[in-house]
Homo-oligomer: A and B are copies of this chain.
Amino acid sequence: MLRQFVRRIHYSQRFYEAQVELTSVRYAGVKRGNYAQLSEKHVQQFERILPKERVLTDPSDVQSYNVDWLRMVRGASQVVLRPKTTEEVSAILQYCNEECLAVCPQGGNTGLVGGSVPVFDEVILSTSLMNNIIGLDELSGVLTCQAGCVLENLETYLSERGFMMPLDLGAKGTCQIGGNVSTNAGGIRLIRYGSLQGSILGVEAVKADGEVIDCLNSLKKDNTGYHLKHLFIGSEGTLGIVTKIAVHCPPSPKAVNVAFLGLEKFEDVLQTFQNARRDLGEILSSCEMMDRLSLDAAVTNLKLKQPIGDFPFYMLIETSGSNGIHDEEKLTSFLDNSLETGVVLDGTVASEPSKIKMFWSLREGVTEGLLQDGYVFKYDISLPHANFYSIVPELQARLSLNQVKRVCGYGHVGDGNLHLNITVPQYDSEVMKIVEPFVFEWTSKLKGSVSAEHGIGFKKTQYIHFSKSQSSLNLMTNIKQLMDPKGILNPYKVLPADH
């Protein structure tokens, strides 16, 4: 029985590997940097720093670390290191820096831009075993933990103590807080609790040379010198590896409600967002939209149940508050008004946890549902509200259904963040040429962002200039040079190669 199980895993691993072209082949323009090649000597030193079982070199152990979750990119690393402490991370980096070995830090490997897997043969440093919760100050609501804690585990720990994470996203069961911080992850509660740049109070990180930068402040306010933590929040592991964080956590809400709404036009979606902000005020905790094809990806491909009939647009509106009766009154008034004026055509509300979860599984299942179509061209753009959706019909017109399976848009409409997705049976460079750089040029013309929350990673480095000025890019390059002169940390990511 066990043998059968093992065989099945191996089969599935071979299948998995077969599906994903090596990054160095698909993106042949990317050249390997002048880093050392991994040798037996290096592995021996790693085995001095870490116990042997935390240095993985068996190809069958290593391969899953080389491929990203979307199966878009695949590296060829030969070694995975699994430190448990900051001191171990420091020793590893100090040695890699001395030896000029490139390092790819990896958390839950749920990134969507190829930032968390090697491009060539970088040493993989996995934070998965750095999963200690250090503590919660119940007076101030500040949680301190290691970088490898899985987001959902932190949520569970906090909810038992009357608090919640200010961050929630579909990948919560796998993603790690260190990766969330390193990528400045956004998610579905940003509209209420703001970005991680506001919630993360402190960071401990290790620089390329192994030096530990301790900004692990757990105070809400600390204006003593430059706010170095922000060098690590959102720099995607290229300036340092985040090892610990302190995050300010709001109290758990006493009441949560989710409305699932059907709408006719995108203008109605925008109007409903404005009405929600006005009528729900401080209890509005999510304002999400999906078009019909997005919801269909979750419903058809993942066999989920659709809670209301077919509409061109859907919205998920969540409230979280401290008084269930007040919240219900606010929500009822908002919904009555929305239905009476015809802005919303149909809707259903959940307050029981199981039904709330069901609604959210539809929204959060879109990403995985789209993957079932084959290969996904994913774009995560910020746009002014007035022009939020117009790129979707524009691309539908440019691409024929012979070429693609689906062109759809969904996302965090309250935050002006659209997830534009184009699915094809398999990777297709012709489609790619129609879509890129068109999407980035469109976004840039509207002064949007070519990456709202996913980051730049490996896949978008050549498009960063659509959202950032040359002087800003120069300053970024100077800072990278200052903090990692040999460029060993997560190379080929974030900054374009000509920088």
Contacts and interface: CB of A to CB of B under 8 A. Distances in A.
A86 to B, nearest CB: 12
Contacts of A451: 222-224
Question: What 3 pairs across the A-B complex have the smallest Cβ distances?
Answer: A198-B198, A281-B322, A230-B230
Interface string A214-245: 11011111111111101101110001000000
B226 A234 contact: yes
A384 interface: yes
Interface in A269-304: 270, 274, 277-283
Contacts of A330: 322-323, 326
Interface residues on A, range: 35 or more
A415 to B, nearest CB: 5
A234 B228 contact: no
A249 to B, nearest CB: 12
Interface string A448-488: 11111111100010001001110111011011001100000
A225 B449 contact: no
B198 A195 contact: yes
A494 interface: yes
16 contacts: A140-B385, A194-B194, A213-B471, A220-B416, A222-B449, A222-B467, A223-B449, A223-B454, A223-B456, A224-B449, A228-B475, A230-B230, A251-B277, A282-B282, A323-B329, A479-B482
A40 to B, nearest CB: 33
Copies in the complex: 2
A472 B226 CA distance: 9
Contact of A495 (B217, B223, B225): B225
A449 B218 CA distance: 10
Nearest to A463: B224
Interface string A308-351: 00000000000011110010011000000000000000000000
A234 B239 contact: no
Contacts of A2: none
A137 B449 contact: no
Given A417-B221, A456-B223, A215 B472 contact: yes
Interface in A243-279: 251, 253-254, 270, 274, 277-279
A468 B199 CA distance: 20
B482 A415 contact: no
A382 interface: yes
A283 B137 CA distance: 22
Contacts of A479: 226, 479, 482
A139 interface: yes
Contacts of A217: 449
A495 to B, nearest CB: 7
Given A140-B416, A471-B213, A221 B281 contact: no
A123 to B, nearest CB: 23
Nearest to A283: B282
A146 interface: no
Given A198-B199, A251-B278, 9 more contacts: A139-B385, A218-B447, A222-B452, A223-B449, A224-B451, A224-B467, A226-B479, A226-B494, A228-B472
